[in-house]
Chain A
């Protein structure tokens, strides 16, 4: 059943890929593309445009997914504390739980109790239960770590792409899209003490490690944003 669904998704994804990127012709020689700073990446041939793919998928599928499927953060956190595997099955997604950790779509409200906006990997630490302690880090970018946003989406499986490079490009394009559309407009100053509301995803951290949420949407309470 799982495999059949995967195949269906893969086939429909392939359709989207074809529509977005045109026909792909396999070459015998490693083809290369200049990255942003002129570095050549072998096999990254530019035949697939991840930015276009994400721009299209965002309004059709990704934004609705977070709107409709984000679970209450407190609920998910409590379930993970009890039994992470069971929590994953109930609230999360993993293409293959034996090999890849669970990712969870969540919605949270809370108070910013710490902020580091000097690093390019900026983040805020948020207290969601009023005990004065941080319950999660929320990434603000521009450097966004990890691919939780991609990994939580059941309709963007690795199998739908030619290789890891295309799949990686999709993860990066999604982070970039969220940064440009939302996070870049989020205020950076005097955040401590403010109320925020966000929806996004996190990947199950190693035991004892903090939860890091990548937001798909985030707002300051009081309409400041």
Chain B
């Protein structure tokens, strides 16, 4: 293991040394680091960033940290070693990632955060995030309306170290808890995972067969819950998700899941690259560090216009 790591490090160093003179004069490199592409949301943002960066004449390196802060740390080292000019990052934890972004800054590499904030300012150049709270209140308002302002429901929460799990849950409860006849019978984390949500939903259904709705912190968990509900012949249950994935779009169009909330992931990644490009050329993005992008409610009315985390006009 140690030997292997040493060899790897030596390899990276050798590549860097060998590459440096060649790269000088070649296109500048932008590193794009996101969670696993198993979730189409992260795949879309990586693709959006890559396409925009290449269109602007950069080379790209696309890496995934799998929501592991240690791995993220190593990837930042890789970006530094490769001489990246900027990092586009969807981070691996709102507190745990502060050190990684600081390390890049210390190496004079500006970071442009997308999707998730870190709990610190002045370290990243930009933090462009979806207005998760606004989006969650849109989803919750629709959920309450579909429920007729009453009934038993379940909440599936995302990964607890991710601030977006907290903010979405807060947005849901800030709306739903104002309706006294809405009764939450179970609230569990399924860690953003479809398989975990399937298993959790199965056991929740056994304990609480009398549920009327499920509100989920993201679309992959909503898909897992919906699969479990289908298997239990409970397609009467109202499910609302968050993200705006093509899977949930298709389910909405088939009359399955009732609604979701679109985060403009693809455009957000493009904007981050545009700001990185401007920053590298002029020394400023011209924008505040922390920036919010509004989300859009998706129902059967507009689901047909949704494609890869963007609404067509």
| Interface set of A (CB-CB < 8 Å, partner B) | 2-3, 6, 10, 26-30, 35-37, 39, 41-44, 95-96, 98-101, 119-121, 142-143, 145-147, 157-159, 162-165, 167-168, 171-172, 206
Contacts and interface: CB of A to CB of B under 8 A. Distances in A.
Contact of B166 (A10, A44, A100, A147): A44
A1 B291 CA distance: 17
Interface in B110-126: 117, 119-121
Interface in B233-279: 271
A162 to B, nearest CB: 6
Nearest to A157: B288
Nearest to A144: B178
A41 B179 contact: no
A147 B136 CA distance: 12
Contacts of B179: 120, 143
Interface stretch (B8-16, B43-51, B168-176): B168-176
Interface in B288-307: 288-294, 296
Range for the number of chain B residues in contact with chain A: 35 or more
B95 A28 contact: yes
20 contacts: A27-B95, A30-B166, A36-B177, A37-B177, A37-B184, A39-B177, A42-B160, A42-B161, A42-B165, A42-B169, A96-B287, A96-B292, A101-B294, A143-B179, A158-B292, A162-B119, A163-B94, A164-B133, A165-B166, A165-B170
Interface of B: 94-95, 117, 119-121, 128-129, 131-134, 137, 141, 149, 160-161, 163, 165-167, 169-171, 173-175, 177-179, 184, 187, 271, 284, 286-294, 296
Contact of A145 (B137, B167, B288): B137
Contact of B134 (A2, A98, A147): A147
B294 A39 contact: no
Contact of B288 (A95, A142, A146, A168): A95
Given A44-B170, A163-B163, A143 B292 contact: no
A41 B290 contact: no
A99 B284 contact: no
Contacts of B161: 30, 42
Nearest to A27: B95
Contacts of B170: 35, 41, 44, 165, 168
Nearest to A119: B149
A163 B133 contact: no
Nearest to A147: B134
A168 B171 contact: yes
Ranked nearest first, the 6 interchain pairs of A and B with the lowest CB-CB distance are A42-B166, A168-B133, A99-B293, A159-B288, A43-B166, A143-B178
Given A3-B286, A95-B292, A163-B119, A43 B177 contact: no
B3 to A, nearest CB: 33
A172 B166 CA distance: 16
B136 to A, nearest CB: 9
SS class, residues of chain B in contact with chain A: mixed
A100 B178 contact: no
A167 B127 CA distance: 15
A30 B118 CA distance: 12
Given A3-B284, A30-B166, A143-B175, A159 B128 contact: no
A145 B135 CA distance: 11
Contact of A165 (B95, B163, B271, B284): B163
A165 B291 contact: no
Nearest to A35: B173
Given A96-B291, A98-B271, A42 B163 contact: yes
A170 B293 CA distance: 18
Q: Which of B134, B179, B187, B288 has the most CB of A within 10 A?
A: B288
A121 B187 CA distance: 24
B291 A158 contact: yes
A119 B150 CA distance: 11
A35 B175 CA distance: 12
B67 to A, nearest CB: 14
A68 B115 CA distance: 37
Nearest to B136: A168
Nearest to B302: A206
A162 B288 CA distance: 14
A143 B144 CA distance: 11
B149 A120 contact: yes
Contacts of B167: 43, 163-165, 168
A101 B167 CA distance: 21
Contacts of A28: 95
Most B C-beta atoms less than 10 A away, residue of A39, A96, A101, A162: A39
A100 B184 CA distance: 32
Nearest to A43: B166
Given A3-B287, A3-B288, A164 B117 contact: yes
